[in-house]
Structure 1
Amino acid sequence: MKYEDYHISDELKKNLDTQGFKRPTDIQFKSIPAILKGEDVLAIAQTGTGKTAAFAIPVIDRLQRAKKTGRGDAIRCVVMVPTRELAIQITRSFEELGKGTKVRTMSIFGGVDQDPQIAKLAKGVDVIVTTPGRMFDLVSQGHILLDKVETVVLDEADHMLNLGFIKDIKDLVKFLPKKRQTLFFSATIDDTIKKIAYSLVHKPIRIQVSPKDPVSKNVEHGVAYIKMDDKRFFLERLINENPDKKILIFVRTKVRAERVLAAMQRVKIETQTIHGDKDQSERNQVMSAFRSGKNKILIATDVSARGIDIPNVDFVVNYDLPDEPENYVHRVGRTGRGKQKGQAISFCSPEERPLQSAIEKYTQTPIQVMDIEWNAYQDTLDFTEDTTDNWKQLINEAEANPIKPSKGKKPKKKKR
């Protein structure tokens, strides 16, 4: 089936063709007809399968048809997401797919001045893509009215729950009309998520795409056993051996991100970081540079890069293994998107072995071990450009240039 076979507007079909979309992905094929009919949907699909378009296409089409009937201005669709970057990305997708349809979309999130957002809301919008905090601020101030909402979308729902947004999701329902369409999209699902989902949806169409294989088949996985203190040397080597590749590096914390950045700067490797301590303008700049390829190396935490669609990522490096095995799925999903191939390499220290086991149990697939011979391991440590604490290199230099004892006169003893 092709997009042109769907009963959607000519404008949507033209925009899909312009963007190079010819055939729907599995999640789109199964979701679009149900959403067009107004059904509630509970969709579980691995990352990188086209989930955004799966709900954006039918939502835009339904809004466009309603606008042609002369219906008054109001917020008709709310898309709630866990991060600012994801809000920006989904808004961009709605805008590109909605060109010529007169469906107006905007993103709302914190970390920036709210006045421009309030001004844009006052002009009238059909879709808001929002993070919980700023949305509820503007609801409480009376700038956002949700009484006319017809469709609510919860995207990356599992991550929203992990971040503690359960109360926010339940509070959102209090402001929404009882008669509405609810679309629940998640890459993973457990009993907690299932319970929340079924409390929100009404007789949903349940869709699962490759539920037993949560990671993309386009990604080649490998794990290298490396001591924690040696990881920076192996990252340096990987980057230097792949100078033209786009590499996304995941670490566990914001502090770790900055430490890895400093280590790469010491060896003259240009890179940037993205995490929650950066203001929104800097985060936008960093993502723009990495997305365009101006910067090819990015160090990220899980929260800041969750769900982000970044084109042409060649390598995902798990510099730190994630504490939660589901996050492995989301991390490696940044590469091998669509029909492209990608590689995921995990640096596993001895203390992280239990995390590797948890990941393999979750994905039901063993990760191929990348055997590193002793000589190759030592060479990586020896030939690093980082000499700040390379004790072995210092010893080698000392042995090559021994300090000769001084032939000067012995100092005279001081007289008492």
Structure 2
Amino acid sequence: MKFEQYSFSEDIQNNLRKLGFKRPTDIQYKSIPPIMRGEDVLAVAQTGTGKTVAFALPVIQRLITRKKKHEPKVVRCVVMVPTHELTIQVSKVFEELASRLSLKVAGIYGGIDQDPQIEQLKQGVDVIVATPGRLFDLESQGHLSLKSVETLILDEADHMLELGFKHDMNQLIKKLPPRRQVLFFSATINKTVKNMAYSLVQKAVRIQISPKDPVSKNINHSVAFIEMDDKRFFLERIIREHPDSKILVFVRTKVRAERVMKALERVNLPSQTIHGDKDQNQRNQVMGQFSSGDNKVLIATDVSARGIDIPDVDIVINYDIPEETENYVHRVGRTGRGQKKGLAIAFCSAEEKERLDAIESFLNRKIEQIDIEKGAYQETLSMSGVEDTDWQALMDEADELQNKKKRKNKKSRK
């Protein structure tokens, strides 16, 4: 089936053609009809399968079909997302699909001045894409009215639960009209997430795409067993062997992200980091440079993973095995998006083997192992650009930089 066979408005069809959308993905094909009918939907699909378009497209059509006059502070559709970056990206999808239509879309998130967002809300907005914290804050201040919300969309809802927003979600539901549509989209689902979903939806249409294998078939993912202190050498080798590739590296903590960046700097390999210690302007700049290709290597923490939707990420490196099994799916899902192929490699040390076992149990299968012969292993260690680097001094330097930044932030808050 092609998009042109759907009963979308001519303006929407033109936007789809301009964006190069011809045929719906599986999640789009199964989600669009029930959403167009106004039904609640509970959908679970792999990262990178087109979930945003799956809910944005039919919701936009429904909004323009029942066109209403804009009222100050009143919104008609609320999309809840867990991160600032995801707010920006989902807002962009809505804006592109609704181009030349009279719909107003606003991205609402923290970390920046709220006054421009308040000004937008004063004019009345059809769709807001928001992180929970800023949404609840503006609503409690009286800058936002939820009395006319027709559709509530929870995107990456499992991650919002991880961040502790379950109570806030329950409070939000109480403020919505009793007759509203709820769309619940996630890449992974466990018992807690499922219970929350069922408390929000009514007779929902359930959609699952490849539930037995949450990793996209477009991704070739594998694991290499590497000692913790040797990981930097193997990362260096992969970067040098793929100079034109966009490489996304995942680590456990903010401090570790800075350490890995400094290690690469010592061997003359440029990279950037994205994590919670960076302000919104810094994060936007880093994301922009990675997206444009000005920077080819981005080192990220899991908190940032849900907001990284960059086209053409060629390789994902799990430098550290994630502590939460579901995060593995979200990490590797940053590559192989849409119809494109992707490569994901995990570095697993002896002390991380238990976490790897948990991930394989979650995936219901073994991850393909990369066999590294002893000679090849030693060759990788010896080919580094700076064999004699004092790595302990490097780590100490990275720690001191982090401590200086924390002291500076404390002073600025006083």
What is the distance in 2 between the residues matched to 1:184 and 1:144?
22
Match of 1:131 in 2: 131
Whether the 8 Å contact between 2:237 and 2:380 is mirrored in structure 1 is: yes
Unaligned runs of 5+ in 1: 392-416
Residue of structure 1 in register with 2:410 after alignment: none
SS in 1 for 2:66: helix
Give yes or no for contact 1:307–1:330 (8 Å, CA) kept in 2: no
Contact 1:47–1:307 under 8 Å retained in 2: no
1:261 equivalent in structure 2: 261
Amino acid in structure 2 at the alignment position of 1:389:
D
Q: Distance in 1 between matches of 2:24 and 2:160?
A: 27
Task: Tell me the residue number matched to 1:44.
Answer: 44
Counterpart of 1:231 in 2: which secondary structure? helix
SS at match of 2:42: strand
Aligned to 2:59: 59
Distance 1:126 1:199 in 2: 25
Two-structure CA RMSD over aligned residues (Å):
1.3
Identity of aligned residues (%): 64
Contact 1:45–1:209 (CA under 8 A) maintained in structure 2: yes
Q: Does 1:35 align with 2:35?
A: yes
- TM-superposed deviation, 1:163: 1.4
Return the index of the structure with the highest Cα Rg.
Answer: 1
Give 1:75-224 correspondences, 5 Å limit: 75-224=75-224
State how many pairs are aligned.
Answer: 390
Cα 1:166–1:380 change in 2 (3 A) is same
Shift of residue 355, structure 1, vs aligned partner: 1.1
Q: Secondary structure at the match of 2:82?
A: coil
2:163 maps to amino acid: L
Secondary structure, counterpart of 1:210 in structure 2: coil
SS at match of 1:118: helix
* Partner residue, 1:367: 367
| Mapped pair 1:252 → 2:231 | no
Equivalents in 2 of 1:71, 1:32: separation in Å? 26
What amino acid does structure 2 have at the position aligned with 1:77?
C
Could you list the runs of 4 or more consecutive aligned residues of structure 1 that deviate by over 2 angstroms after TM superposition? 69-74
CA distance in 1, matches of 2:270, 2:122: 42
Secondary structure of 2:214's counterpart equals coil
**Which residue number corresponds to residue 351 of structure 2?**
351
Match of 1:389 in 2: 390
Contact 2:70 2:123 in 1 (8 A): no
Whole-Å Cα distance in 1 between the matches of residues 160 and 108 of structure 2?
A: 16
Are the counterparts in 2 of residues 107 and 128 from structure 1 also a CA contact under 8 Å?
A: yes
**Per-residue deviation at 1:141?**
0.9
Q: Which amino acid aligns with 2:27?
A: I
Q: Distance in 2 between matches of 1:280 and 1:71?
A: 30
Q: Any residues of structure 2 matched to 1:278-297 within 5 Å, and which? A: 278-297=278-297
Alignment check: 8 A CA contact 1:156 1:307 kept: no
Query: Which residue identity lines up with residue 94 of structure 1 in the other structure?
Result: F
Per-residue Cα deviation, 1:113-161 (whole angstroms, up to 9, x for no partner): 1111111111221000000111111111110100110000000011111
CA distance in 2, matches of 1:305, 1:222: 19
Q: Is contact 2:360-2:367 (8 Å) kept?
A: yes
Contact 1:381 1:390 in 2 (8 A): no
What is the identity, as a one-letter code, of the residue corresponding to 1:257?
A: A
Letter in 2 for 1:61: Q
Sort the Cα spacing of 1:246 and 1:71 in 2 relative to 1 into closer, same or farther, 3 A: closer
TM-score, normalised on structure 2? 0.92
For residue 394 of structure 1, what is the aligned residue in structure 2?
Answer: none
| Displacement of 1:378 | 1.3
**1:411 corresponds to which residue?**
none
Q: Does 1:270 pair with 2:267? A: no
Q: Deviations over 1:260-314 (max 9, x none)?
A: 0110111111110001110001100111111111111000011112153211111
* 1:175-194 C-alpha deviation (Å, 9 max, x unpaired): 11111000000111111111
2:336 aligned residue: 336
Q: Deviation per CA, 1:327-346, whole angstroms, max 9, x where unpaired?
A: 11110001111111111000
The answer for unaligned runs of 5 or more in structure 2 is 393-414
- Code of the residue aligned with 1:169 in structure 2: it is M
- Secondary structure of the residue aligned to 1:308 is coil
Deviation at 1:66, TM superposition (A): 1.5
Give 1:393-404 correspondences, 5 Å limit: none
User: Aligned equivalents of 2:70 and 2:331: distance in 1?
Assistant: 42
* Structure 1 residues 157 and 382: alpha-carbon distance in aligned structure 2, compared to 1, 3 A threshold: same
Query: Aligned residue for 1:22?
Result: 22
The answer to whether the Cα contact below 8 Å between 1:45 and 1:210 also exists between their aligned partners in 2 is yes
Work out whether residues 42 and 206 of structure 2, in 8 Å CA contact, stay in contact via their aligned partners in 1: yes
- Counterpart Cα distance in 2 of 1:5 and 1:71: 31
Contact 1:85/1:305 (CA < 8 Å) preserved in 2? no
Secondary structure at 1:211 match in 2 = coil
| 2:39 counterpart SS class | coil
Greater Cα offset, 373-382 or 276-285: 373-382
Structure 1 CA distance, aligned partners of 2:110 and 2:96?
23
User: How many Å separate the matches in 2 of 1:280 and 1:133?
Assistant: 15
Match of 2:305 in 1: 305
8 Å contact from structure 2 (residues 27, 51) kept in 1: yes
- Report SS of the residue matched to 1:216: coil
- Is residue 236 from structure 1 mapped to residue 236 from structure 2 by the alignment? yes
Say which SS state the counterpart of residue 220 (structure 1) adopts: strand
Decide whether the 8 Å contact of 2:70 with 2:124 is kept in 1: no
Q: What letter corresponds to residue 51 of structure 1 in structure 2?
A: K
**Deviation at residue 70 of structure 1 after TM alignment:** 5.1
CA-CA distance at 1:71 after TM superposition: 7.0
